[in-house]
Chain A
Amino acid sequence: MTDRLEADAETARELSPWRTRAAVFGEFWHYFSQNRGAVIGLVVFTLLVLTAIFAPLLAPYSPNEQFRDSLLKPPFWVDGGSSAFLLGTDALGRDILSRLIYGARFSLFIGVAVVMIAVTGGILIGLAAGYFRGWVDVFAMRIMDIILAFPSLLLALVLVAILGPGLVNAMIAIAVVFQPHFARLTRAAVLAEARREYVTSAKVVGASNLRLMFVTILPNCLAPLIVQATLSFSTAILDAAALGFLGMGAQPPTPEWGTMLAEAREFILRAWWVVTFPGLAILITVLAINLIGDGLRDALDPKLKRS
């Protein structure tokens, strides 16, 4: 037994922080890669990110270039379509494929920005509430409860109405609506961790409140937050598209997928392609992220694992 412990201690000494990290990642990857759907999701998502980054190189045309002589052209495999516009054109003669490629930039950016704002805000509130307890906790959590009492899309819609329609305001509104989930998760995790011995020992050594909160406790609360962040990433894209669809998000002629759908609505019975492709792009993106989310949950949190 003691031999075993000594050997363990030795390996622990041998492992530099970098190596430990590599080992942790290796274990994570082992679990993650067992989930076939998650790997597919990751591949699709990587392709989407590449599409967004290299949009100017990939897109055949500028997203706002109007071809006045080819309005509402169908995709190339349909009668009347041409290989010049692979997925057809919209009512203003803009190439749908090019708009979709540029649209990937908006959707991914929306997802990243919303999650960053919501996670940062949520972690700060949740840490403060869980660490200080008392009135800070009661006050912060009551406010979170109030935000959660409204249907998220409705509250986001009203917030955008106050701030004024637009992509940035839509992102802020969605982030505000998502934040309580992160605050609650952080608080719950902090409450559980703060009682542990390593926290007490850090306190005894004289670590400051800030150090205890951010360096000692926070890293151990991250697993559920990462899972929630992936889920919110996909929901943010959906909600932003919904706001765009309702005319409250990105404004035309921005090639945001939800806004494209809103513009296409009046043509649904005449030109199915202007409606089909932007929505398909949203679905594929959100599905890929949700597949990754499922895989992350399985890999990061063995307790939550779908047996």
Chain B
Amino acid sequence: MLRFFISRLGLIIPTFIGITIVAFAFVRVLPGDPVLLLAGERGMDPDRYQKLLVQFGYDRPIWEQYFHYVMGLLQGDFGNSISTKRPVLQEFFTLFPATLELGLCAIIFAVVIGIPAGILAAVKRGSWFDQATMGIALTGYSMPIFWWGLLLIILFSGTLGWTPVSGRISLMYFFPSVTGFMTIDSLLSGEPGAFRSAVAHLILPTIVLGTIPLAVIARQTRSAMLEVLAEDYVRTARAKGLSPGRVIGLHALRNAMIPVITTIGLQIGVLMAGAILTETIFSWPGIGKWMVDSISRRDYPVVQGGLVLIAGIIMLVNLVVDLMYGLINPRIRHR
């Protein structure tokens, strides 16, 4: 197990170095001078320009600058945002819980509906339920989620008036952030109606962000189940006279879940890309919207730091999924 762990770690360290190089190079290849960018539209006199050039180290050789940048990263220094002047890392951690809360809700939504739907479709293979589920799943998989979000807003917020259009909670509630999770914080605050408001704000973004993972999980569950149901041990279990529920629930499901769990782990990248669109549509104050806004505002330190942090988190989650997979399935470890 230790060897497996070390070999996986050995794979991600060069990738992480690569990520920092990409993020570092990003600011270098951009058109425009990073120092002038700080000055904004007012411009800057040559003396001050020279001073800032030295202060930020832009006069030194490029490899030295990169080394300096990485040393900063390792000490948690991701630079400061140009527009808010606050440290990038601090901004990231204030906004991250919003994305995490939305992402968790989306994946729970996808799993709770996707796995049962996939199992039923496989068990009732060829039935109208199977065909309808797979049709819906492929439609969901093909969905431009930014449009899906707008449609849901038109229907549920515009026409029916059931859900709010944007944000995380109604503006009439104000309470301190304890966990950063609006649903939990609103409960802790004890303000009447706050929790309801937080949940109402979560519903549409959750559906929008969860749609593609839901489709992928349902399809994957179905095909994994079909594969397992064709195995000899399932036939044996049936021949022994076990009830269909026991065969499916106990013998087939457990083995079918292994590829499904991997699929769920792989959805984190999909969720992050989806968060960019979902958060933009619903004005959800999370990492995705932060990145889009910073890109259009040309706030390069934020884009640079955000890239490293997001890619780093995805990499860590994938590593954890990998390691857990190795724990569950010894065959992977010894490959």
Residues of A participating in the B interface, judged by any CB pair closer than 8 Å: 37, 142-143, 145-146, 149-154, 157-158, 161-162, 164, 234, 238, 241-242, 245-248, 258, 261, 265, 268-269, 272, 275-276, 278-280, 282-283, 286-287, 290-291, 294, 306-307
Contact = CB atoms under 8 A, between A and B. Distances in A.
A278 B146 CA distance: 12
Given A154-B291, A158-B303, A158-B307, A261 B147 contact: yes
Contacts of A162: 26, 29-30
Contacts of A290: 138, 141-142
B19 A149 contact: yes
Given A145-B11, A269-B153, A276-B151, 14 more contacts: A142-B18, A151-B269, A152-B269, A154-B272, A154-B310, A161-B298, A162-B30, A261-B146, A269-B154, A272-B158, A282-B144, A283-B139, A287-B142, A290-B138
Nearest to A150: B311
Given A149-B311, A158-B26, A307-B226, A143 B18 contact: yes
B303 A146 contact: no
Interface stretch (B42-50, B112-120, B273-281): B273-281
A154 B307 contact: yes
B255 interface: no
12 contacts: A37-B135, A150-B307, A153-B277, A158-B303, A161-B303, A162-B30, A164-B31, A269-B153, A279-B144, A279-B150, A307-B226, A307-B227
Given A154-B307, A268-B150, A149 B315 contact: yes
Given A146-B19, A157-B292, A290-B142, A245 B277 contact: yes
Interface residues of B, number: 49
Classify the interface of chain A: helix, strand, loop or mixed: helix
Contact of A151 (B29, B142, B314): B314
Contacts of A152: 269, 273
Interface string B277-315: 100100000000001100110100001000100110011
Interface string B19-58: 1011000100111000000000000000000000000000
